[in-house]
A and B are shown apart, each in its own frame.
Chain A
Amino acid sequence: MSLTTDDVKKIAHLARLGIDEPDIDSYARDLSGMLDLMTQMSELNTDGVIPMAHPMDQVQRLRPDIVTEQDNREQFQAIAPQVEAGLYLVPKVIE
């Protein structure tokens, strides 16, 4: 299976990931190589096998609904690229 440069651009858009135009061919080639590797899996019959998401098949642990974390807003915003009046700033979204 091989991916085209257009496929790579589409995937990059889904990931909101900027990629450099001169690199697109090499991504297409590398990803196609990875997909070739993955086709080996189709040789194995996995009918009826339950997908394994966690090594110990653990389920999500529950905890009492009590406050455990304190407000660290100032500390967290001190490392933000742009803040104002306690808010994170991004380019205008709604005209």
Chain B
Amino acid sequence: MHNKSIAELARGLRSGEFSSVELTQAFLDRIKRHSSLNCYVTVTEDLALQEAKAADDRIAEGDATLLTGIPVAQKDIFCTQGVKTTCGSKMLDNFIAPYNATVVDKFNQAGAVMLGKLNMDEFAMGSSNETSYYGAVRNPWDLNAIPGGSSGGSAAAVAAGLTVCATGTDTGGSIRQPAAHCGITGLKPTYGRVSRYGMIAYASSLDQGGPMAHSAEDAAIMLQVMAGFDERDSTSVDLPVPDYRAGLNNPIEGLKIGLPKEFFGDGLNSDVAAVIESAVNEYRKLGAHIKEVSMPNLKLAIPAYYVIAPAECSANLSRFDGVRYGYRCANPVDLTDLYVRSRGEGFGKEVKRRILMGTYALSAGYYDAYYIKAQKVRRLISEDFKKALSEVDVIMGPVAPSTAFGIGEKIGNPIEMYLSDIYTIAINLAGLPAMSVPAGIVGGKPVGLQIIGNYFAEDRLLNIAHQYQQITDWHQQSPKGFE
């Protein structure tokens, strides 16, 4: 049952083939059997079975949505009332959230069953899931490889069949890169499309939640629930939410695809490049036209991001002070000691590195040289995309320069780790929506195709990904041992 689509499972629940309690129990059993992947920080077994029972009642009453009774899991960055919400950090190891994130409320209203909370890089800072206080997550395709990050637990759990689908968040690639490395479908929506209320902040002008699932169709069903205006998020955008499933089967003949030459230069593994070329060829067969486009400022996306994101992080994470919630050091001698030691003992090394970087970039004398400069570069990068997207409908390219690297391989060299986000980071700076779609397997590990669209064109992206998934089966492949 763990490889079925949401639509198939919803049919099975309605026809009485199986109940939500049975379905949920099957997933809980799989989670236990594969606990060595370390996907979950918390499994909410009792709560899940209660929710499944309620979902079965709701289905019997004929009041069900497509997600009613479907097991989902939440990245541990989303606050869940009464359930531990750690954000992958010792700082929040004792934090029982006093309210639900809007995204969590919406899944509850749809009648979805929450299996638990998924492992992640600490405060979503990382590209490998190795910075989590709860340890690295293993990639089900290669147990010695990273699953990607920061939504590594989400991607690995979907790929291994330890949930039907999962939420993720993406600040610089944290949905798309792990989706690519684990062979699943992930969508980072337009900034402002999905509410950030109750989603623990890292870099507020870049953070965006989105769906992670096997297929574009499942992602569409999830996004339908997640998207929409929320007055409790001051950057939420008040636009109507289209029916994301309605357009999935639209033909894509005549689609104009842009390939930025900067996405295919040095640094891109040649086997990954071959996979992307072959995926683009499939689109050609579907009637798409291919055009080269240019992003002259793309190479400055990483420097700009590593000023803006740490600057926002240093401001956001100042709330963790050991006073109102979270970790407090033992026996503080005075208030400064309370702050310094609670933060020093509660945060891991990568989080500290970014707080230090951001504090420096915002400090007197450096603000203009770093922060303002980075915001200007951000606008020029964003204009590169606007120009390209005025010539083509979507932009395609790789998600990551290589397949998943080994656990421990890059953790000692943070800069090298940052550079691996070269193809995803610029999209967050521009605020555009983008997807990662399984497009091949190299050396036993999956490769993702990135599809970048215009603002609020999530329906178009899902349609384009869905059409590819009608003629390929990369998204249906399972890692060995998890079939």
Contact = CB atoms under 8 A, between A and B. Distances in A.
Interface of A: 3, 7-8, 11-12, 14-20, 23, 27, 30-31, 33-34, 37-42, 44, 46, 49-56, 58, 60-61, 63, 72, 75-76, 78-82, 88, 90-93
B18 interface: no
Given A46-B376, A52-B376, A79-B325, A16 B304 contact: no
A82 to B, nearest CB: 7
Nearest to B455: A56
B332 interface: yes
Contacts of B47: none
Given A17-B347, A18-B344, A79-B98, A51 B379 contact: yes
Judged by DSSP, the binding face of B is helix
A34 B415 contact: yes
Nearest to B378: A52
Interface stretch (B173-181, B215-223, B278-286, B294-302): B294-302
A88 to B, nearest CB: 6
Interface of B: 94-96, 98-99, 190-192, 205, 231, 234-235, 237, 297, 299-300, 302-304, 306-307, 314, 318, 321-326, 328, 332-341, 343-345, 347, 349, 352-353, 355-357, 359-360, 363, 370, 372-380, 382, 414-415, 418, 429-432, 455
B98 A75 contact: yes
B248 to A, nearest CB: 26
Given A12-B356, A34-B357, A37-B415, A88 B323 contact: yes
A92 B237 CA distance: 44
Given A42-B373, A56-B431, A80-B324, A37 B338 contact: no
A35 B339 CA distance: 27
A53 B429 CA distance: 10
20 contacts: A15-B343, A16-B336, A17-B355, A18-B344, A34-B418, A38-B370, A39-B303, A41-B300, A41-B374, A44-B377, A46-B380, A51-B375, A53-B375, A54-B205, A54-B431, A55-B431, A56-B191, A78-B98, A79-B95, A81-B328
A39 B205 CA distance: 23
A33 B370 CA distance: 14
Contacts of A8: 356
Contacts of A46: 373, 376-377, 380
Contacts of A3: 360
Nearest to B314: A15
Nearest to A46: B376
Contacts of A55: 190-192, 205, 382, 429-432
A16 B343 contact: yes
B314 A49 contact: no
